[in-house]
Structure 1
Amino acid sequence: MGLGERKTKGIYIDLFSGCGGLSLGLGHSGWTGLFAVEKDHMAFETFKHNLIDGKYNHFRWPDWLPKKETTIQELLTNYQSQLVELNGHVDLIAGGPPCQGFSMAGRRKMDDPRNKLSEEYIKMVQLISPRYLVLENVKGFNSTFKDSTGNRSKIPYSEIVKARLEELGYKIFTGFVNSACFGVPQNRTRFIMVGVRKDQLHSELDPFSILEELREPFLKEKQLPSKPVSVRAAISDLEQSSSEIIYHSGSENNGFKQLNYTSPKRLTPYQKVMRKGLQSKFKPNSLRIARHKPETVEKFKKIQSICAPGKGLTDEQKQLIGTRKQVITVLDPSQPSRTLTTLPDDLLHYSEPRILTVRENARIQSFPDDFEFKGKYTTGGSRRTQECPRYTQVGNAVPPLMGEVLGRLIGLLNERSS
């Protein structure tokens, strides 16, 4: 039975949907999707497999829009009349414009072309005029930038977007939310912008106070602890040292191997959430193990021996290891993970000398075990900016548990403003 076969909180559109973390969460919270926009074919393949064709379907996809990867610009160019007809029929536009141009880890230039995608988001809002907006982005979205001449701007890009949306008739609320507060085993703090169309505002509302009210009941319903979920509690059943390793692909001797997953008799509360409704024999996909060279394994062992768990290598330690890599962190098993990125070798396992599998990353992002990822596992070189393989799909996603909480928040705003 698809997620859409129940009373819905309303109709939403997901812009910049990626592989579907936010949509999955919105569906679980009772929303019905109309369509989603994602430009990368691998990310959209994952989205379509799970959220359109699969068990998590909750979309009423319009006949006029092909179920394939696309961009907002293509939508605005080819389907403007159909978009205009949606005015008054969409309750929520959600999404997070690609964040690389805003990331604190990057060069963060004001004129990064990826930042202009926010303007396309605004154009969609102007045409469709939904009742509510949710925009998710990295913390850097709320920081100032250097322009092409090296001068620092006086206001953050988020304030520009906020002002534009207010001109369109929305009351905009902004804040920072850490996913670890809502059951995600990851310290992932994101800038959240919530917009309420002014004709929907009939009382003083503070979305972020309501979000805090939701926290304890949400965790209690999921049977998750009130304290943050640790990495070990999330992925201990995926450790390789106590599991059978079997053939995955390539040559029999030198090809890739994978974990032959068997569910332990006792799952942690978090693992129970990730495997809800699944038989113990069910094996998730994306369990392929990275093919590390022997010298890489030795380097990882050395890093694990000198790196404080949960902390990045210091400059002195990097020199000792002989690496120029900007970020390497060994996970602390007793704490939530550091923020996942799209680079799989930013994080090392807490007890095994290796990077994490895609499935382990997916667990840390709160994707359920039966959500299947499609496409290549990794990509490199010049293709890194043009392709969205599995590791990137997971790293870029909004954690589904966070998406579910945001969906409940908008539902409550709707109830309290009516």
Structure 2
Amino acid sequence: MNQPTKKVLSLFSGCGGMDLGFEGGFSVHKANLNPIANFGWIEGPTDSEQVLLKKNRFETVFANDINPDAQTAWTHFFKKSFGYSPTTFRLESVVDIVKRHKAGENILPKNVDVVTGGFPCQDFSLSGKRNGLNSHKDHTGKIIGDEDIPSIETRGQLYCWMKEVIEICQPKVFVAENVKGLVNLGDVKDIIQKDFSATSNDGYLVVSPQVLAAWKFGIPQNRERVIFIGFKRSALTPEALEALSMEDIPKEFDPYPKATHTKPVKKDVPEELSETKLSDILSDLPEPDGVTDLSHRHYSKAKFMGKHCQGQGEISLNGISPTIRAEHHGNIEFRRLNAHNGGKNIKELQAGKPQRRLSLRECARIQTFPDDFEFVIPATGKTRKRWDLSPSQGYKVIGNAVPPFLAYHIARNLEEKWNLFFK
């Protein structure tokens, strides 16, 4: 018997990493999966490097972001792959969306089951200025003057507007995402958790946030994100309400996905449980020059600027990648470096392959986007522009995204326990 579709409202959507993970039905490299822990997730085929994941019961009915490049990437892929109308995605600040809704416009969808949102993370990032809740950028990303006191409309407090959407739409569950640096920024994590818990209209039970490391879920990247999951109290079964209120939540009610991979630090760790290596997912890609895939043909030509600069390292094919960042051009890690620049991918250098930075497709693979997700899109129609989405813009939206396969882990866990959680 088919279960009904669950409607998802997505905020701060970017190019759709979280949305794609909740949708499912996309391809990943077979090396991303654990053949034991991920059993039953594959739709097919099993005899190729790329495997198709099963479709989930979640359907994105609303998405938003203020970045037009993210909108271009999102609408291009989701129209092609799922038949979604471009109007599903709104290029608008969540602040303005909520204000328009409260003014009487019929803008937010009804009967939403899930709200997701990766509220802006730059102000909490370890690599940023770490302004946290005291950001000096407004909800559209513009810098405000020092004379303006940071408020609920500045970037560091946009989670409050996600809270407003939750109060309006009353989903059964919400999933919020941010960088790991948030948990080390004073009491910010506790403030955000308490604010989400105080959501009106029955209230939400926000379980203790967890930091999920991407490599523990088959994603070859040193990327860590803090996840907040909250449940509408009145929608929970009595058993779920009791279990989720415990300090140590029973495994069968744990809303966070269980890690599927571990670093091979012990001799008795089975090979299939060790971390996915970059060589596992990149080895079948040809060199970029001359390929038809524009997202692989294009890569940053920025020269090596010395080890003292950010983004001048070489990825280790026998390990995992550094975090794929939203910077571009000279901040993209090298696929390989010449020996005199410290290159260690010896076999590739000996084979005569040139020093170069990662292509967009390689970055996208590390992030677990499918190969049919395009990040370089030529301009259409009569225009003087060369690109609708340029290579530099593509690098940015890839780096800003939630890895789709990490989101898929979160979504599968919620879907499998849905009837256990809700009445």
TM norm. shorter chain > 0.5: yes
Whole-angstrom CA distance in 2 between matches of 1:49 and 1:212: 30
1:360-391 Cα distance to aligned partner (Å, 9 max, x none): 10000000101112444355xxxxxxxxx110
1:89-117 Cα distance to aligned partner (Å, 9 max, x none): 11100010121111001110131132122
Whole-angstrom CA distance in 2 between matches of 1:45 and 1:209: 36
Q: 1:123 to 1:356 in 2, by over 3 A?
A: same
Whole-angstrom CA distance in 2 between matches of 1:417 and 1:7: 15
1:55 alignment partner, one of 81, 84, 87: 81
Q: Does 1:19 align with 2:37?
A: no
Q: 1:9 to 1:227 in 2, by over 3 A?
A: farther
Q: Residue 69 of structure 2: SS of its match in structure 1?
A: helix
Q: What are the residue-to-residue correspondences of 1:36-55 with 2, within 5 Å? A: 36-51=63-78, 53-55=79-81
Q: 1:392 to 1:84 in 2, by over 3 A?
A: closer
| CA apart distance, 1:199 | 1.6
Q: Please name the residue that 1:184 is paired with.
A: 219
Q: Please name the residue that 2:157 is paired with.
A: 116
1:178 partner amino acid: A
Whole-angstrom CA distance in 1 between matches of 2:323 and 2:130: 18
Which structure has more helix as a fraction of its residues? 1
1:127 alignment partner, one of 168, 173, 185: 168
1:33-79 Cα distance to aligned partner (Å, 9 max, x none): 1110111111101111111x21234x588xxx675422212212333
Whole-angstrom CA distance in 1 between matches of 2:257 and 2:284: 31
Whole-angstrom CA distance in 2 between matches of 1:291 and 1:347: 10
| CA apart distance, 1:178 | 1.0
Q: Please name the residue that 1:398 is paired with.
A: 402
Whole-angstrom CA distance in 2 between matches of 1:56 and 1:364: 23
Whole-angstrom CA distance in 2 between matches of 1:291 and 1:15: 30
Q: Please name the residue that 1:333 is paired with.
A: 317
Which one is further off, 158-167 or 103-112?
A: 158-167
Contact 1:84–1:127 under 8 Å retained in 2: no
Contact 1:284–1:370 under 8 Å retained in 2: no
Contact 2:299–2:391 under 8 Å retained in 1: no
1:91 alignment partner, one of 100, 113, 116: 113
2:390 alignment partner, one of 377, 389, 392: 377
Q: Please name the residue that 1:348 is paired with.
A: 334
Question: What is the RMSD of the two structures over their aligned residues, measured on CA atoms?
Answer: 2.7
Q: Does 1:172 align with 2:156?
A: no
Q: 1:369 to 1:86 in 2, by over 3 A?
A: closer
| CA apart distance, 1:225 | 3.9
Report sequence identity in percent: 25
Q: What are the residue-to-residue correspondences of 1:248-263 with 2, within 5 Å? A: 260=291
Q: Residue 54 of structure 1: SS of its match in structure 2?
A: helix
Whole-angstrom CA distance in 1 between matches of 2:82 and 2:274: 29
1:235 partner amino acid: L
Q: Residue 79 of structure 1: SS of its match in structure 2?
A: helix
Whole-angstrom CA distance in 2 between matches of 1:85 and 1:364: 34
| CA apart distance, 1:290 | 3.6
Contact 1:185–1:336 under 8 Å retained in 2: yes
Whole-angstrom CA distance in 2 between matches of 1:132 and 1:78: 24
Q: Please name the residue that 1:361 is paired with.
A: 363
Normalising by the residue count of structure 2, what TM-score does the alignment of the two structures yield?
0.68
1:341-363 Cα distance to aligned partner (Å, 9 max, x none): 01242411144522111111000
1:101 alignment partner, one of 110, 123, 133: 123
Whole-angstrom CA distance in 2 between matches of 1:412 and 1:396: 28
1:128-183 Cα distance to aligned partner (Å, 9 max, x none): 11110101110112222xxxxxxxxx512x22221111112111121010111222
Q: Residue 296 of structure 2: SS of its match in structure 1?
A: coil
1:178-209 Cα distance to aligned partner (Å, 9 max, x none): 11122212121110111111123322044894
1:277-329 Cα distance to aligned partner (Å, 9 max, x none): xxxxxx54412334637xx3xx47xx6xxxxxxxxx5xxxx3xxxxxx24532
Q: 1:16 to 1:84 in 2, by over 3 A?
A: closer
1:411 alignment partner, one of 412, 415, 418: 415
Contact 1:342–1:391 under 8 Å retained in 2: yes
Q: Residue 284 of structure 2: SS of its match in structure 1?
A: helix
1:328 partner amino acid: Q
Contact 1:8–1:32 under 8 Å retained in 2: no
Q: 1:106 to 1:130 in 2, by over 3 A?
A: same
Q: 1:408 to 1:212 in 2, by over 3 A?
A: closer
Whole-angstrom CA distance in 2 between matches of 1:239 and 1:8: 42
Whole-angstrom CA distance in 2 between matches of 1:327 and 1:408: 34
Q: Please name the residue that 1:3 is paired with.
A: none
Whole-angstrom CA distance in 2 between matches of 1:225 and 1:285: 33
Q: 1:9 to 1:376 in 2, by over 3 A?
A: closer
Q: 1:33 to 1:291 in 2, by over 3 A?
A: closer
Q: 1:8 to 1:23 in 2, by over 3 A?
A: farther
